[in-house]
Amino acid sequence: MAHTLLLLFVICGLTSTVGPTVEPDEMLLQPAGEGQLSLDPSEVAAAAVDFGGVARAEPLAVMRPGGAGDVAHLVRAAYRSARWFPVSARGHGHSTNGQALASGGVVVQMSRGRIAPRPMPAYSPSTGEYYVDVWGGDLWVDVLNWTLANGGLAPKSWTDYLYLSVGGTLSNAGVSGQAFHHGPQISNVYELDVVTGKGELTTCSEEQNSELFHGVLGGLGQFGIITRARIALETAPHRVRWIRVLYSDFAAFTRDQELLVSLHGAHRSERFDYVEGFVIVDEGLINNWRSSFFSPKNPVKMSSVHANAGLLYCLEMTKNYDDSAADSIDEVGLR
């Protein structure tokens, strides 16, 4: 699961901050556009911790950018300043080990509000597919709601948790149950706008600045800050059948999982659209199911399943279908 590292980006040779830093002049940090710079103690304190709670590092200031130009201006100021300071881009704060922190520097709150009206989904004649341009700080759940409402479309590949930023998961990989068919999220990006370590705003893709493009995607934030991503879309399903199967035998569990994944090239009617497997530890079973989306009525039944070494295995699948197939969807099976 891609619980994101959220774009750690440290200026000055893209290395971690070592030794004492000198606080930058407040005027040096002022956004060039519509953004805001905050020294408010409550905002600074909120930016000093992340989801992991492992590390704590208090920044000097927090910036809410008004656009990519503000991000570039800040990074450029840090790069050129004799009094160097760290800059960190923070999405929704879901880094786990302090990667989105900037001790004595500036945290860029990428997910704070909308910067400009979000562009409508568009069709690309060159690829024969739809896409949407989104801000790097947008949350995936907001992207989904937007594309559904404007064309009945959805991104092809997801993480299991949608309240993560676009730039954050693309800096990691973005892996979930659709990856066996579409690849991770980083395989479903057509184009990026990136602020490099020198504060240059650069557009990159497979054809244009391809080295930067591939470096940023999955680069753990060490090659730049993603300010815009062009995401591949597909038609959203009308309905989804969600299926979970429990196993006590690991060999049978992995055999079935590998079979389902191997069908990724099959016709849509013959394959599943989402496949994931996970292990559940039997710690009394009754209290262990709550984190696995099972009904409160299930644990008693599950307790009767014989589990070797106190383990059970769960295979999770989904099958997309439309209204015309509603009466026959339960008859679909593996041949």
d(CA 31, CA 37): 7
Query: pLDDT category, 245, cuts 50, 70, 90?
Result: confident
Of 50, 70, 92, 94, which residue is the catalytic one?
94
Choosing from 160, 191, 234, 282, the catalytic residue is 160
Instruction: Give the count of beta carbons closer than 10 Å to the beta carbon of residue 118.
Output: 17
Give the helix ranges, DSSP H, for 113-239: 140-149, 166-170, 179-182, 210-216
Instruction: Please choose, from the candidates 177, 23, 4, the residue with its C-alpha nearest in 3D space to the C-alpha of residue 97.
Output: 4
CATH class of 239-331: alpha beta
> Which stretch of 48-57, 80-89, 172-181, 214-223 has the lowest confidence by average pLDDT?
80-89
Residue-level pLDDT at 188: 96
Catalytic residue among 50, 256, 276, 316: 276
pLDDT in tens, 157-171: 999 899 999 999 999
Looking at the predicted structure, is the pLDDT value of residue 138 above 80? yes
Query: What CATH code is assigned to 122-235?
Result: 3.30.465.10
**Taking 80 as the threshold, does the pLDDT of residue 62 lie above it?**
yes
**206 belongs to the catalytic site:** no
Domain spans in the chain, listed from the N-terminal domain onward: 26-109, 122-235, 239-331
So what's the pLDDT on residue 56? 93
Name the fold adopted by 26-109.
3.30.43
Give pLDDT, residue 61: 92
Active site residue 160: yes
pLDDT digit string, tens, across residues 256-313: 999 999 887 666 667 889 999 988 776 544 444 444 555 555 554 555 555 566 778 8
Q: How far is CA 94 from CA 1, 56, 84, 86, 91, in A?
A: 13, 14, 26, 19, 8
* Catalytic residue list contains 276: yes
